[in-house]
């Protein structure tokens, strides 16, 4: 375990905007040995802020363990609305070689595979919404185990804003998308009718540009600019 003490500047929105870790209890420690495949009831984590930037996502399991080797895998339910469609997505696994002692062991599962959104408006293919009720599965090789499951999400709620003006519109709906200059990553989008101001909240203060489209002939691109911190 690493304990790190540090100092930092305070966000304009106060220390409540800084990184914090929230926990959700998905499954209490069971009183009987688990099956080889345990499906947990669907639960939805709830983040207090609308605009969030996820730093890490993981799960913690306390196991009342036996003496034989075992292998654990954590699977997350993919819903019909998700990119993967109906089914199960394996996000982590954890191998274990036990000694001859019985006792409680602590298992950490990290979601190293990109399953959940990285920020509130992340639209990359394959990213699922964190705050959605979905089931979880614990799979193991040996069923003589008692287990539990907690989900933890570390995130902050500091964000930035880019803005500009639409000119030359014919009065129709203008769709506007914001991209990061360095790699073309889509950061956010908005729309408006006709000429006028727009603004898009984004998770980073890297240089960005916006593209506007009203039709196949009415197109536009902004100059590169650096978003301004909002919170």
Reference 116, options 149, 155, 150; nearest CA is 155
CA quadruple 124, 125, 127, 128: dihedral, nearest 10: 120
What's residue 179's pLDDT?
Answer: 97
Collapsed DSSP state (helix, strand, coil) of residue 210:
strand
Number of Cβ atoms within 10 Å of the Cβ of 70: 21
Residue extent(s) of CATH 2.60.120.230 domains in the chain: 15-156
This prediction's pTM: 0.77
Chain position carrying tokens 């802020």: 49
| Buried-state track 193-217, b at ≥16 Cβ within 10 A, e below 16 | eeeeebbbbbbbeeebbbebebeee
Residue extent(s) of CATH 2.60.40 domains in the chain: 160-229
Number of Cβ atoms within 10 Å of the Cβ of 176: 22
What is the CATH topology of the domain spanning 15-156? Jelly Rolls (2.60.120)
Laid out side by side, the sheet with 87-96 consists of 37-43, 134-140, 70-78, 87-96
The CATH number of 160-229, from 3.30.1920, 2.60.40, 3.40.1350, 1.10.287, is 2.60.40
Q: pLDDT of 21-78, one tens digit each?
A: 888 888 777 665 555 667 777 788 888 888 999 888 888 877 766 656 667 788 888 8
What's residue 140's pLDDT?
Answer: 74
Collapsed DSSP state (helix, strand, coil) of residue 172:
coil
- Give me the percent of the chain exceeding a pLDDT of 70: 78
Hey, which bits of 44-141 come out as E strands? 53-65, 70-78, 87-96, 103-110, 134-140
| Distance (Å, whole) CA 212 – CA 108 | 44
Q: pLDDT of 157-197, one tens digit each?
A: 989 999 999 999 999 999 999 999 999 999 999 999 999 99
Chain position carrying tokens 């101001």: 197
């Amino acid at each position: 375990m690493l304990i790190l003490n540090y100092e930092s500047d305070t966000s304009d929105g106060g220390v409540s905007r800084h990184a914090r870790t929230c926990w959700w209890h998905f499954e209490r420690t069971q009183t009987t040995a688990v099956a080889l495949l345990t499906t947990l009831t669907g639960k939805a984590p709830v983040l207090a802020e609308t605009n969030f930037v996820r730093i890490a996502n993981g799960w913690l399991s306390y196991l009342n363990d036996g003496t034989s080797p075992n292998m654990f895998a954590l699977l997350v339910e993919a819903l019909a609305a998700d990119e993967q469609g109906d089914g199960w997505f394996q996000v982590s696994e954890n191998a274990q070689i036990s000694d001859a002692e019985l006792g409680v062991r602590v298992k950490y599962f990290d979601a190293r595979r990109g399953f959940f959104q990285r920020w509130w408006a992340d639209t990359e293919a394959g990213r699922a919404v964190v705050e959605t009720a979905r089931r979880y599965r614990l799979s193991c090789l040996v069923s003589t185990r008692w287990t539990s499951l907690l989900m933890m999400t570390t995130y902050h709620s500091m964000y930035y804003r880019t803005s500009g003006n639409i000119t030359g519109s014919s009065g129709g709906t203008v769709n506007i998308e914001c991209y990061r200059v360095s790699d073309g990553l889509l950061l956010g989008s908005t729309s408006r009718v006709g000429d006028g101001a727009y603004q898009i909240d984004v998770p980073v203060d890297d240089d960005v540009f916006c593209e506007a489209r009203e039709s196949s002939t009415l197109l536009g691109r902004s100059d590169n600019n650096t978003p301004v911190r909002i919170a």
